[in-house]
Amino acid sequence: MKSITEIIKSRRAIYPPNYQAKQIPKEVIRKILEAANWAPTHKRTEPWRFKVFYDDAKVQLANWIGKAMEQYAKPGKFDPAKQQKMINKVTKSSCVLAICMQRDPAERLPEWEEIASVACAVQNMWLLCTDYGIGAYWSSPSFITNHPHEFLKLADGERCLGLFYMGWQDKDVKMKALRSPIGQKVIWM
Ligand SMILES: Cc1cc2nc3c(=O)[nH]c(=O)nc-3n(C[C@H](O)[C@H](O)[C@H](O)COP(=O)(O)O)c2cc1C
């Protein structure tokens, strides 16, 4: 069994071209989502929300992404190659989650705290994925994060913070771990 320190350090952003075609069972996805649910949360607002795109829903997501990229492209900036790359990322994944944040209706805490809480939930999932050998990464394309979308069925006060791609990772994939030393970011007062 790997230690928590080993899992933290070996977690990498693993991209869909490095995913196997094998499906992740729903039961495993439920366990990953359950890990998200134990993130820290100020005032217990539990702001993390996820839309699961699996099987047919994944096909619908790929279709929608194709259309949305065209719709939201800046004038003269639409790039069909980029669009196809984005569609391929969905089809190569076994499951894609829309990462969402539900704002506390009474706004009892600043929005950043709720976004931070969602990020903690994502890290929980990402670490569990690492433990399972599931490649995953958080993608935050602006056409998804900057627009409210009917397709995602966002509730009032809910915001999408990106997509979480998942797939069993190729056995031989080795992503570079790049970090400058922690000493450069810490001041012991
Ligand atoms: C909030 C957030 C948004 C991210 N958005 C993107 C993205 O849009 N595209 C991308 O390639 N990676 C994205 N990433 C993943 C980072 O690129 C990745 O974590 C970084 O390269 C460090 O690599 P590592 O996670 O393997 O240590 C995002 C990560 C976070 C935390």
Q: Whose CA is nearest to atom 13 of ligand 1?
A: 139
What is the per-residue pLDDT for 23?
98
pLDDT digits (tens, 9 = 90+) for 43-74: 999 999 999 999 999 999 999 999 999 999 99
Which one of 11, 18, 124, 137 would you pick to mutate in the ligand 1 pocket, going by the greatest count of ligand atoms within 8 A of its CB? 137
Averaged confidence pLDDT in the chain? 96
- pLDDT at residue 174 tops 90: no
Q: What is the mean pLDDT of residues 114-142?
A: 98
Residues 19, 92: contact at Cβ < 8 Å?
A: yes
Q: What's the CA gap between 166 and 15, in Å, rounded?
A: 8
Region 131-137 average pLDDT = 98
Q: What is the mean pLDDT of residues 114-120?
A: 98
Instruction: Give mean pLDDT, residues 137-142.
Output: 96
Residue ranges covered by each domain of the chain: 4-185
Pocket residues: Cβ below 6 A from ligand 1: 12-13, 137-141, 162, 175
4-185 has which fold? NADH Oxidase (3.40.109)
Percent of the chain clearing pLDDT 70 (strictly above): 100
pTM for the complete prediction?
0.97
Check pLDDT > 90 for residue 137.
yes
